[in-house]
Amino acid sequence: MENIRNYLNTELKIGNKKIKNRLVFASMSKLGNVAFRMLLEHFGSCGLYFSEMSSAVRIPFENPKNSNVYRFYNDEKNKLVWQILGSDPEKMSIAASRIENDGFFGVDLNFSCSAAKIVKKGFGAAILKDSDTAVNIVRAIRNKVQIPIFIKYRTGWKDDPKLAVDLAKKFEQSGADALTFHPRVAPDRRTRKPKWEYISKVKKAVNIPVFGNGNVFTFEDCIKMIQTTNCDGISLGRIAVNSPWIFDKWLNNKEINYNIYLETVKIYIKLLQDNFNEKIAIKRFKKFVFYYCAGFKYGHSLYSKLINCNSFNDLLKEFEIFFLQRPEHLEIPNANLIV
């Protein structure tokens, strides 16, 4: 166990830069916003942040002062990778250039999102149907920027790792600096377990870092993923939203005090209010509590009350009542609330 913890705490070179540890926060739509990244930074130890999904077409015209998506704080830019979504190589490269000029650690290409509204536009996982387009996007961006290029992608549209392995090689040859591989087929919205053995196949195919992603909920899962796949790092999504202190807990074997559960809610509410108007802030918070409540016994009953609250005062009152009962915190979140 300590060998894995030590491994996760070692530096990793990505392109022309380095990260201090190998446990990173995955890009999550509407969840990886600036306020939540501030929350993660409050607890510390996250090796690298990935922004929420952003439209490549809109990035060049975004104003960080009033955008609800392209918003950040200066101190995070040196460990923040901005994720872009699109299918046009030129537009993607222009967005990447803006991201480089704004001083971010790197740019991440979303070839993974399988939401119907995204795939219908030919974005996200839909790009895996056309490897030429995928490769052309990577090449166009490599010709435009010097910052590290990450690619988040899935197995493909059928349960065969061959495409994922072939694409990994092409991505590396085209200039990608790191891959985040989620070993599920695109139509699978977490109805089946990810096939971690596919991560090892991708890892063996390339010389650039490969981050494993998918169903890592405990430190034992971390150990198993690294031992079975030899991946260079792990990308945490749902468990990081469910337990924002998880990076510090796993990397430093940090003991968690029960008070942290309500404290987290209060801190996040304040950060949301500082960064968004009330309407947007409450929407972002309700997206968060969908995952947060999954970490507690009887959390589903709390969630059913929270979704009907229309103010932060009411939301906080429900949490305070709930935690007075000292509900058990679950090591593995309730799967019915984190699909």
pLDDT profile of the chain (339 residues), mean per 10: 95 98 96 98 98 97 95 96 98 98 98 95 96 97 98 96 98 98 86 92 98 96 97 97 97 96 98 97 97 96 96 98 96 75
According to the model, what pLDDT value does residue 153 have? 98
According to the model, what pLDDT value does residue 337 have? 64
Catalogue the active-site residues: 113
Given phi > 0 = left and psi -120 to 50 = alpha, else beta, which region is 212?
beta
* Length of the chain, in residues: 339
According to the model, what pLDDT value does residue 239 have? 96
According to the model, what pLDDT value does residue 1 have? 82
Domains of the chain: 2-252 (3.20.20.70), 260-337 (no CATH)
- DSSP, collapsed to helix, strand or coil, labels residue 280 as helix
- DSSP, collapsed to helix, strand or coil, labels residue 307 as coil
Contacts made by residues 268-277, CB under 8 angstroms, sequence distance 24+: 268/35, 268/36, 268/39, 268/244, 269/312, 269/315, 269/316, 271/35, 271/36, 271/38, 271/39, 272/35, 273/312, 274/35, 275/33, 275/34, 275/35, 275/38, 275/71, 276/33, 276/35, 276/68
**Phi then psi dihedrals of residue 129, to 5 deg:** -75, -15
- On the CB side of 302, how many CA atoms lie within 13 Å of its CA? 27
Q: pTM, whole model, 2 decimals?
A: 0.96
- Contact between 327 and 300 (Cβ < 8 Å): no
According to the model, what pLDDT value does residue 187 have? 81
According to the model, what pLDDT value does residue 192 have? 79
**Phi then psi dihedrals of residue 243, to 5 deg:** -140, 80
According to the model, what pLDDT value does residue 106 have? 98
